[in-house]
Amino acid sequence: MFLGINLTSNLLRAQIFTHIEDLPNIYLMFSLDSSEASKKRKEEVERLDHPQVYYSFLRQSMNEDTMGASIIFNLQQNKKQLKYDDRKRTCPVDAGVMPIHGACNKCRKCFSPGVYK
């Protein structure tokens, strides 16, 4: 299945994971935020024990626990820019250091093998 191509899927519900095969080129990004419901969903995902799951986190303030997420997106709606404090994990567009046009193709942070570790 798509040999040589890494497939990444962003998921919000843990139940979907049970229908996805454990293949070496399938990566599952699970979205988190600071809500209690999100913490419970993360626990559900961890119990499923998929070997190539990683987390993104939607940060609304600098003091939030990002729960070990590999990628941090800063919520910017109606707010000043949050700091670009973690250059390895924070989306440069959301931090205001890169224009959105073509940014994902230039950055590739969400899709690079290092993010899965």
If you compute the radius of gyration of the chain from its CA atoms, what whole number of angstroms results?
15
The ranges of the chain with pLDDT < 50 are: 1-2, 78
Task: State the pLDDT at residue 74.
Answer: 85
Angle, CA of 83, 91 and 37, to the nearest 5°: 90
Calpha distance 112→3 (Å, rounded):
17
Task: State the pLDDT at residue 1.
Answer: 46
Tens of pLDDT along 75-103? 875 456 777 777 888 888 887 888 889 88
pTM for the full model?
A: 0.77
What long-range pairs does 78-85 form, CB within 8 A, spacing at least 24? none
Q: Which two tokens stand for residue 73?
A: 């997106």
CA-to-CA dists, residue 69 to 3, 4, 56, 80, 88, angstroms? 27, 26, 5, 22, 11
Q: Which two tokens stand for residue 94?
A: 């959301």
Of the candidates 59, 83, 82, 79, the one whose C-alpha atom is nearest the C-alpha of residue 71 is 59
